[in-house]
Amino acid sequence: MGFRCKNLGVTYKTQNGELEALEDVSFSVSDHEFVCLVGPSGCGKSTILKLVAGLLDPTTGTIEFDSKPAGDRPRNAMVFQEHGVFPWMNVLDNVAFGLAIRGVPKAERNAIASRFIDRVGLSHFIDSHPHELSVGMRQRVSIARAFVNDPEILLMDEPFGSLDAMTKLVMTEELMGIWSRQRKQVLYVTHDIEEAIMLGDRVLVMTGRPGRIREEIEIPLARPRDLRDRDKSEIVKIKEHVWGILEEEVRAGLRGQHEPS
């Protein structure tokens, strides 16, 4: 289930007037493709995910989903950066939640959920509550919950944003392992350049404001990928290139300006 975003623009109405968050954003995600959006804080990444999820209507532009009549949305699942799990439910009930909503009988949904909990390495914690888990483990619960619903499109908003660098590397590898069995269409948001390159078939580099896609980069790495791939010379070159696009804006942001001079 691929989709195409055409000339998307979003203008938010705020107390201080209108804020143009996105301008003329066009890109596509093909069947089975993992696409990463990378860009500095405030450039409009989450806004794009909300548009694709149908949580927000674009001010201009359209999104077309393959093989769906106009107006119909595919089933999607979103993994948020934080607060993605219900604190009062144990791991099993958290993961099975979407299936329960869809009316899948208890024995069946618990069997399906257990399979995914196993896949993210949490089978010993199936009865635990989120407060008994580390942040990384809670994110694994979120990921299992997203995959269990068999979404046609998976949207991930900085799912590992709050993890330390080492845990993040390992989680990135785990996510690839889970994804490679199902190959869902994924639109994955991060502001970590290396993470975007290691995960994506393609990386869309954004700058703000208003948010625009400045460049699309194909990542020339075969799958399955290995953490050691990040030291390959072509990957180091891509990292430097992306940083070259973003550096000026990040520095301007720190000086309190929004537009690079």
Ligand X SMILES: Nc1ncnc2c1ncn2[C@@H]1O[C@H](COP(=O)(O)OP(=O)(O)OP(=O)(O)O)[C@@H](O)[C@H]1O
In the complex, the residues that contact ligand X under the rule CB under 6 A are: 12, 14, 19, 21, 39, 41-47, 191, 209
Give the rounded distance of the alpha carbon of 68 from its chain centre: 22
Question: Measured from the CB of residue 21, what is the shortest distance to ligand X in angstroms?
Answer: 4
Distance CA 131, CA 60 (A): 42
Helix residue ranges, H only, the chain: 45-53, 91-101, 106-119, 135-148, 165-182, 193-199, 233-254
88 binds, among ligand X, Mg ion, none (CB under 5 to 8 A by kind): none
Q: Reduced to 3 DSSP states, what percent helix, strand and coil does the chain have, rounded to the nearest 5? A: 40, 25, 35
Nearest distance from residue 252's CB to Mg ion, in Å? 19
The least CB distance from residue 211 to Mg ion, in Å, is 11
Site mask for Mg ion (CB under 5 A), range 43-72, x = bound:
---x--------------------------
Q: Whose Cβ is closer to ligand X: residue 42's or residue 74's?
A: 42
Going by their DSSP bridges, the two strands 153-157 and 185-190 should be labelled as parallel
Q: How far apart are CA 154 and CA 146, in angstroms?
A: 7
Identify the CA nearest to 161 among candidates 179, 138, 183: 138
Looking at residue 92, its amino acid is L
Minimal distance in Å, beta carbon 195 to Mg ion?
Answer: 14
Minimum CB–partner distance for residue 42 and ligand X (Å): 4
30/161 with CB nearer ligand X: 161
Contacted by 227, from ligand X, Mg ion, none: CB < 5 to 8 Å by type: none
Give whichever of 33 and 192 is closer to ligand X, judged by the CB atom: 192
List of residues contacting Mg ion (CB under 5 A): 46
